Amino acid sequence: MPAHFPNQHLTSTPGVDVPPELNTTPASRSPQKRYAEIVVDIPLQRVFHYGIPPHIRESLTVGMRVRIPFGNKIMAGFCVGFTDTPFTDKTKDILSIIDTSPLIDDVMLKITRWLSFHYYCGWGEAISAVVPSVVRSKKKERWNTFVRLKEHTVALNQEAIAQIKTRAPRQAKALEILLEHPDEISAKELIRICGCKMPGLRQLEEKGFITIENKPCDVTHTISNAGQLQQHLTLTMDQQQAFDIICNKFTAPKPGVLLLHGITGSGKTEIYLQTIKKTLEHNRKAIYLVPEISLTPQTIQRIKARFNRVAVLHSSLLGTVHQSQWNDIKEGKADIVIGARSSIFAPLKDIGLIIIDEEHENTYKQETNPRYNARDIAILRATYENAMVIMGTATPSLESYDQALSGNYEKIVLPRRIGERQLPPVDIVDMGEEVRKRRGYHIISQRLEYYMNQSLARKEQVILFLNRRGFAPYIHCKRCGFVLKCQRCDIPMTFHKKINTILCHYCHAEAHPPESCPDCLANNITYRGFGTERIEDEIRNKFPGYQIIRMDSDTMRVRDSHEKALTAFERGEFQILLGTQMIAKGLDFPNVTLVGVISADTILNLPDFRASERTFQLISQVAGRTGRGTKGGRVVVQSYNPRHYSITYAAAHDYDGFAKKELEYRKQLQYPPFGKLARIVFRSPHEEKAKEKSAIIGDKLKDFAKINGNRLEILGPSPAPVTKINNLFRWHILLKAQDHISIHNALQGIANALKPSKGVQTMVDVDPYMML
């Protein structure tokens, strides 16, 4: 029988609300283990009680999975504790144990319980997010077959090969190829080139010419020592002062949270690396989070050059590789874990340090259930592990900045670039004035084109940034004004020229572009706006002698494509790098002397209270990609709203000025960091049902607010800014309060009404980042 979670009251710790009940250890209850507390991967905050058969009573421990009868199904559930007093006398028995050892420990059990309560999801859903699906599925390790010459065959000459060729020409061809490749080669590749099948290769092995060996597919990803390691760099005066503050924290009873606010190019990474060294000297371990998978290759390269026993976790890893890395971490074979947001759940023991690089990034927020923020999970985990958290950025999130101002986080400032290099000058181009002067619409301003010609002529490199992919964002009829929208979503279709297809970037629907207007049938169809694909065409026409590489989600689909693209750009194979926000941060290329922001307005015009903050951050971050070498640099920002404070403060490299002004606006409207938010979205194929359910929930919330002293402000219900996605109409409600307690009490107070209902999906997002 199910049991609701207890009504937990929250106490405040820096940046994170922690229920005091989570400090108890479920494993300590019921030493007789007569009944198990089981949670299932369903969107309900419930614990179920099951009887434990005597033959598995000794084997079952907290953190293991079990098979259970659940309704009329057999499901897997996680054991989260034991009890002697079930909620009903009619309990079913566990069928069997799935795991030989626990998949999560007591600390992670507390974290998932908090995650479930804070983000309003099922405890089983939270645990399933912590343990990767490849680990839960126990995917079998894949193996590859490799071939190499035996040592004595290195002296194999052409005469001997000629003799073999008369009898077995394909075997001879295989030997010739192996002579050209003294290292091993995969059997699959060898067969493809020479046509000699496995039986022929086996004959060569029997004759003593070659060795055939099976190896795991993820052999290159195993954790091993790299041999000679690079020495750490000498710190600048600013870096040394920051590092001294960090070192003093190691001896503190509670290391706490440090906000490392360093301008781009100030050497934050070197401080991270030397802090990791200090952590390892104290026999503790470290987790290093990056916001984008595209940043992982550079980060891995830097860390592996300094340290051994490094593991990598992110969603682009092959299933077996991911599983192998996770198991190696769990078995204590790694000292450092690098990865994106889900790496915060790595099964690493003895954690002494958690680094959150580019802490301001919204990619640390998970946009599917459970909708956690890795930054908050990191602080919570560090609290339980008594570890230090370092959050580094050139543009702190206003929530973290406010915590530093309040004294909850210790702020460390790096005000200067390495080598006293200056921040690049930023030119703001008024594109409205550009249209008037040039009597026409141009994507590349005259000023940006001029500076690009100068940089390229000096054999320097250029980065161009636009946070919009595709060729044209919408298709428009000049005659009747018709805009072609997705039939399943309330957004315009985007034209992708290379594949001659129109795509919906929400539901991924695709179609051929129309030759005439579907509404008035006139042949006046035009392609309006621009994306990275159109910019690429424009640049190729204007600069035909130079190589350009485009990085966006259309071109970076193949595994390891990020790493290959950035490595090629670093080697100088390409002179121009064009991309979306995946190129805006963390990259360090000394030969880049010019950055162009094609349109600073793409985010600024969104109906989102964080639009100004994100605009400032993106411009500041992308501007930081230039001027990192001895050649200096320049930034050109194109905008139709050039006097907006987010753009002018970014051009002046004035974070404090921007933060002060933005915080004034936030305080007036009680938006974070001065208030807490939760968003409830209702989705249904029938708009009236979504509207009706949102009205019912809205009324219940307003009644709850009145009864409890109006500590809660309810905005809505109203249509979501994007009113339909994938044939589902969307209505939403925004909850605003001074603290999380009021929001959580309200959600718990209407829990029954929020349960899934026929025809309407309900999604709760606590601390939302996406407001569309």
Backbone angles phi, psi at 465, to 5 degrees: -120, 130
Tell me how far apart the alpha carbons of residues 698 and 682 are, in angstroms, rounded to a whole number.
Answer: 11
Residues in the chain: 772
Tell me how far apart the alpha carbons of residues 772 and 769 are, in angstroms, rounded to a whole number.
Answer: 9
Task: Report which of 606, 643, 263, 644 is spatially closest to residue 467, judged by C-alpha positions.
Answer: 606
Tell me how far apart the alpha carbons of residues 26 and 3 are, in angstroms, rounded to a whole number.
Answer: 15
Tell me how far apart the alpha carbons of residues 250 and 279 are, in angstroms, rounded to a whole number.
Answer: 8
Two tokens at 460? Answer: 């320097």
520 assigned ligand-binding residue: yes
Tell me how far apart the alpha carbons of residues 99 and 56 are, in angstroms, rounded to a whole number.
Answer: 12
Task: Evaluate whether the domain defined by 426-471+532-666 bears CATH number 3.40.50.300.
Answer: yes
- Which helix H or strand E contains 745, and what residues bound it? helix 740-749
121 assigned ligand-binding residue: no
In the chain, domain spans: 2-131, 143-216, 237-419, 426-471+532-666, 474-529, 676-766
Q: Are 130 and 345 in contact (CB under 8 A)?
A: yes
Task: Report which of 180, 231, 234, 168 is spatially closest to residue 204, judged by C-alpha positions.
Answer: 168
Any long-range contacts for 194-203 (C-beta under 8 Å, 24+ apart)?
194/170, 195/170, 196/168, 196/170, 196/171, 197/170, 198/145, 200/168, 200/170, 200/171, 200/174, 201/147, 201/171, 201/174, 203/168, 203/171
pLDDT at site 323: 83
477 assigned ligand-binding residue: yes
pLDDT at site 555: 78
List C-alpha distances in Å: 221 to 259, 288, 300, 348, 476: 32, 17, 12, 17, 49
247 assigned ligand-binding residue: no
Q: What angle do CA 301, 302, 308 make, to 5 degrees?
A: 80
507 assigned ligand-binding residue: yes
Task: Report which of 236, 266, 257, 252 is spatially closest to residue 394, judged by C-alpha positions.
Answer: 266
Region class of 15: left (phi > 0), else alpha (psi between -120 and 50), else beta: left
Q: Which residue has the tokens 């107070």?
A: 749
What tens digit of pLDDT does each residue of 437-483 get?
887 778 899 999 999 999 999 999 999 999 888 888 878 888 888 88
Radius of gyration of the chain, Cα coordinates, nearest whole angstrom: 29
504 assigned ligand-binding residue: yes
Q: Are 38 and 50 in contact (CB under 8 A)?
A: yes
Q: Which residue has the tokens 């680094």?
A: 355
Q: How many CB atoms are closer than 10 A to CB 745? A: 18
Q: Which residue has the tokens 């941060």?
A: 585
Longest Cα–Cα distance of the chain, Å, equals 96
Q: Are 147 and 187 in contact (CB under 8 A)?
A: yes
Q: Are 244 and 278 in contact (CB under 8 A)?
A: no
Q: Are 547 and 573 in contact (CB under 8 A)?
A: yes
Tell me how far apart the alpha carbons of residues 609 and 141 are, in angstroms, rounded to a whole number.
Answer: 47
Domain topology for 237-419: Rossmann fold (3.40.50)
The DSSP-derived string for 574-622 is: -SEEEESGGGSSS---TTEEEEEES-TTTTTTSS-TTHHHHHHHHHHHH
Same fold? 2-131, 237-419:
no
Task: Report which of 671, 653, 651, 668 is spatially closest to residue 611, judged by C-alpha positions.
Answer: 671
Tell me how far apart the alpha carbons of residues 65 and 98 are, in angstroms, rounded to a whole number.
Answer: 5
Sheet holding 46-51, edge to edge: 2-4, 46-51, 35-40, 73-83, 65-70, 96-97
User: Which residues have CB under 8 Å from 662's CB, separation 6+?
Assistant: 398, 612, 613, 616, 646
Q: Are 427 and 635 in contact (CB under 8 A)?
A: yes
pTM: 0.82
Give burial (CB, 10 Å; 0-12/13-18/19+) of 227.
exposed
Tell me how far apart the alpha carbons of residues 44 and 125 are, in angstroms, rounded to a whole number.
Answer: 9
Q: Spell out the SS3 assignment of 144-213.
A: EEEEEECHHHHHCCHHHHHHHHHHCHHHHHHHHHHHHCCCCEEHHHHHHHHCCCHHHHHHHHHCCCEEEE
The CATH superfamily label for domain 676-766 reads: Ribosomal protein S10 (3.30.70.600)
Q: Which residues of the chain have pLDDT under 50?
A: 1-13, 19-28, 218-222
Q: Helices (DSSP H) in 349-394: which residue ranges?
A: 374-385
Q: Are 348 and 329 in contact (CB under 8 A)?
A: yes
pLDDT at site 186: 78
Q: Are 36 and 26 in contact (CB under 8 A)?
A: no
Three-state DSSP class for residue 427: strand
Pairing relation of β-strands 35-40 and 73-83?
Answer: antiparallel
Q: Which residue has the tokens 């569309």?
A: 772
Task: Note the CATH number of domain 2-131.
Answer: 3.40.1440.60
pLDDT at site 423: 87
Give burial (CB, 10 Å; 0-12/13-18/19+) of 755.
exposed
Tell me how far apart the alpha carbons of residues 634 and 592 are, in angstroms, rounded to a whole number.
Answer: 9
Average pLDDT over all residues of the chain: 86
Tell me how far apart the alpha carbons of residues 419 and 670 are, in angstroms, rounded to a whole number.
Answer: 42
480 assigned ligand-binding residue: yes
Q: Are 651 and 684 in contact (CB under 8 A)?
A: no
486 assigned ligand-binding residue: yes
Tell me how far apart the alpha carbons of residues 611 and 476 are, in angstroms, rounded to a whole number.
Answer: 26
End-to-end CA distance of the chain: 39
